[in-house]
A and B are shown apart, each in its own frame.
Chain A
Amino acid sequence: MAPSVKSKLRRGAVGSRIGFFGRLRAAAGHHSHTFQDSLLRLCKEPLQTLMTTTAIAIALSLPATLFVTVDNARQFESSFESFSQITAYVENDASARQIANIENQLEAMTEVASVVYISPDQALQEFIQGSGFGSALEHLAANPLPPVFIIEPKEKSPAEAGQAQQLVSKINKVAQIEDAQIDMLWLQRLRSLTQMGQKIVLALGAALGLGVLVIIGNSIRLAIHNRREEIIVVKLVGGTDAYVRRPFLYSGLLMGLLGALGASFILVIGFWWLGGSVVQISELYNSQYRLQGPGFQGCLTLVAIGSGLGLSGSWLAVGRHLKDIKPR
């Protein structure tokens, strides 16, 4: 090698050396450039993008709707926990002394938290006020309502239904108690229904999540096919696999993100639309219950899940299909 050539080569090599921060800046620049490019490509094919994101949005909104519904049911259920009380009906002909005796017996039970006595007169008054049948009831010759004890057990959670049931049978054995009831069976039913709902959410979520992976994987496969030439040239001039992969990963991420935003939109609109009817129904039942939509946090979670699925879907597709493209 001639000295003059050597010195020229050395100068060339020094000229191409870049500092660490320069590289970092260039990498950041490349990322933002690739991101913009991926976004632009999605905008250039609006129909294709719309179809893909709609498919993703629908696939995501189904399990998400079910999830929010089950969540609502669970909130409804927990709002009834404090109502799990035992109602004990005393025989109509019990005397005041007998009633006081029963009250003492009930209060002496270790499982009992509190006992409230409602006399037939009190009950009638409440019924007249609450039911709207006031004028009809005035025509009754005698008060048909029995004396009632409202017993609150110490253990109130629906999970401890067994204990509550034991308490009920214990109260039933007290003399002159006609019947003791616990209004918890329907709560237990609701509880097992929501548990089943949660399982369905999981199964449906897994199945449709897989669907989203397939949808995104397929569009990425097409995109890779369309940009085959470019991939070959980039590889020929020394582009790393990471460099080649990047635009497709951004595309997948963006598709997942847009799909999840679409799903959030569907959810918010859907629950808002349904919310009005629920208010009407619960007002008819004298309830304060209101339907809860997905909320900001729910939408944010959905968007995170969608983006994650988009990224993993494109990752899988890119890993699978880029290997097939070898520069000639």
Chain B
Amino acid sequence: MIHFDNLSKRYPGGFEALKGINLHVDAGELAFLTGHSGAGKSSLLKLLMLLERPSSGALLINGKNINRLADNKIPSYRRQLGVVFQDHQLLMDRSVFDNVALPLQVAGQPRKEIGRRVRAALDGVGLLSKEKHSPMMLSGGEQQRVGIARAVVHKPRILLADEPTGNLDPALSAEIMALFRRFQDVGVTVLIASHDIDLINRMNCRIIRLEQGMVADDGGAYGPVS
């Protein structure tokens, strides 16, 4: 589903965030991306979201090289993705419902369909009763769950998450992780960037550790980064 082929990203100024990354993530797989800050986790996710373009190498999604995607094709590519952000990127001047509805609105879905799907997504994260609330009235964990509902409301095939539990306590983090696991169960490819070692060790999943822009480890659980 996701395939990195000798992918490098060099920023103007000479900093090399990613150096020759070779990775393959299967459809329906849940994998963690970990490493120190500055190791290249965010750069990797940015390339996947096409917020940035790689300097060299190929990035294949579903067998298609997205490096060569024209700028005007980017929106429709992004609609295949679901993205959960650390700072959840919710719009505080809109209701929970409207926030979750956004990916469907930009895709031009009919209103009836939007209502049905938004409620299904909110139900999935246990926030159906709060659809009319403003995100500001919700707790941090609830806000993050709204962010997740928005990321999955359009049934993406790939779900990316950048430090989704960054600001949450362990109990809430575990809850969020359980949610991701449920999406994996229905066939979504999930890639989560996180440095919460304890939590990801407990998940018993594939862990990809980056170090200085290179893949340092790719496999099962591992001990705390020394």
21 contacts between A and B (CB under 8 A): A5-B187, A8-B186, A9-B157, A12-B155, A16-B107, A16-B109, A18-B108, A22-B110, A27-B108, A29-B111, A229-B91, A233-B102, A235-B78, A236-B78, A237-B79, A237-B103, A237-B106, A238-B75, A240-B75, A241-B72, A326-B51
Would you list which residues of chain B between 74 and 96 have a CB under 8 Å from chain A? 75-79, 81, 83, 89-91, 93
Contact A240 B111 (CB under 8 A): no
What's the Cα separation between A306 and B194 when bound, in Å? 53
What's the Cα separation between A326 and B111 when bound, in Å? 28
Contact B91 A23 (CB under 8 A): no
Min distance, Cβ A273 to any Cβ of chain B, angstroms: 44
Q: Which of B49, B93, B110 has the most CB of A within 10 A?
A: B110
What's the Cα separation between A15 and B51 when bound, in Å? 28
Whether A1 is near chain B, meaning CB under 8 Å from some CB there, is yes
Residues in A whose Cβ lies below 8 Å from that of B102: 233-234, 237, 239
Known A1-B27, A238-B79; judge A9-B187 contact (CB<8 A). Answer: yes
What's the Cα separation between A26 and B101 when bound, in Å? 13
What's the Cα separation between A241 and B187 when bound, in Å? 31
Known A18-B110, A30-B108, A236-B49; judge A1-B26 contact (CB<8 A). Answer: yes
Known A16-B155, A18-B110; judge A1-B79 contact (CB<8 A). Answer: no
Contact A236 B89 (CB under 8 A): yes
Residues in B whose Cβ lies below 8 Å from that of A2: 28
Whether A328 is near chain B, meaning CB under 8 Å from some CB there, is yes
Whether B6 is near chain A, meaning CB under 8 Å from some CB there, is no
Nearest A residue to B184, CB-CB: A5
Residues in A whose Cβ lies below 8 Å from that of B107: 16, 238
Residues in A whose Cβ lies below 8 Å from that of B49: 236, 327
Name the one of B83, B108, B111 contacting A236, with C-beta atoms under 8 angstroms.
B83
Contact A238 B109 (CB under 8 A): no
What's the Cα separation between A12 and B90 when bound, in Å? 25
What's the Cα separation between A1 and B29 when bound, in Å? 10
Contact B78 A237 (CB under 8 A): yes
Residues in A whose Cβ lies below 8 Å from that of B78: 235-238
Whether A230 is near chain B, meaning CB under 8 Å from some CB there, is yes
What's the Cα separation between A240 and B91 when bound, in Å? 18
Min distance, Cβ A55 to any Cβ of chain B, angstroms: 27
User: Which 6 A-B pairs have CB atoms at the shortest separation, nearest pair first?
Assistant: A238-B79, A238-B78, A239-B106, A5-B187, A237-B103, A8-B187
Q: Interface size on B (CB < 8 Å)?
A: 33
Residues in A whose Cβ lies below 8 Å from that of B195: none
Min distance, Cβ A26 to any Cβ of chain B, angstroms: 5
Nearest A residue to B93, CB-CB: A230
Residues in B whose Cβ lies below 8 Å from that of A327: 49, 51
Whether B55 is near chain A, meaning CB under 8 Å from some CB there, is no
Min distance, Cβ A10 to any Cβ of chain B, angstroms: 10
Interface class of chain A by DSSP: helix
Interface of B toward A, CB cutoff 8 Å: 26-28, 49, 51, 72, 75-79, 81, 83, 89-91, 93, 102-103, 105-111, 113, 150, 154-155, 157, 186-187
What's the Cα separation between A234 and B75 when bound, in Å? 10
Residues in B whose Cβ lies below 8 Å from that of A5: 27-28, 187
Known A12-B155, A18-B113; judge A234-B106 contact (CB<8 A). Answer: yes
Contact A26 B187 (CB under 8 A): no
Contact A238 B76 (CB under 8 A): yes
Whether A25 is near chain B, meaning CB under 8 Å from some CB there, is yes
Residues in A whose Cβ lies below 8 Å from that of B75: 235, 238-241, 243
What's the Cα separation between A29 and B83 when bound, in Å? 26
Whether A232 is near chain B, meaning CB under 8 Å from some CB there, is yes
Contact A18 B187 (CB under 8 A): no
> Scoring A residues 88 to 131 as 1 if CB is less than 8 Å from chain B, else 0, what string do you get?
00000000000000000000000000000000000000000000
Residues in B whose Cβ lies below 8 Å from that of A240: 72, 75, 106
Residues in B whose Cβ lies below 8 Å from that of A1: 26-28
What's the Cα separation between A22 and B109 when bound, in Å? 8
Min distance, Cβ B43 to any Cβ of chain A, angstroms: 12
Residues in B whose Cβ lies below 8 Å from that of A29: 110-111
Known A1-B28, A238-B78; judge A26-B108 contact (CB<8 A). Answer: yes
Name the one of B89, B105, B111, B155 contacting A232, with C-beta atoms under 8 angstroms.
B89
Min distance, Cβ A16 to any Cβ of chain B, angstroms: 6
Min distance, Cβ B106 to any Cβ of chain A, angstroms: 4
Nearest B residue to A23, CB-CB: B108
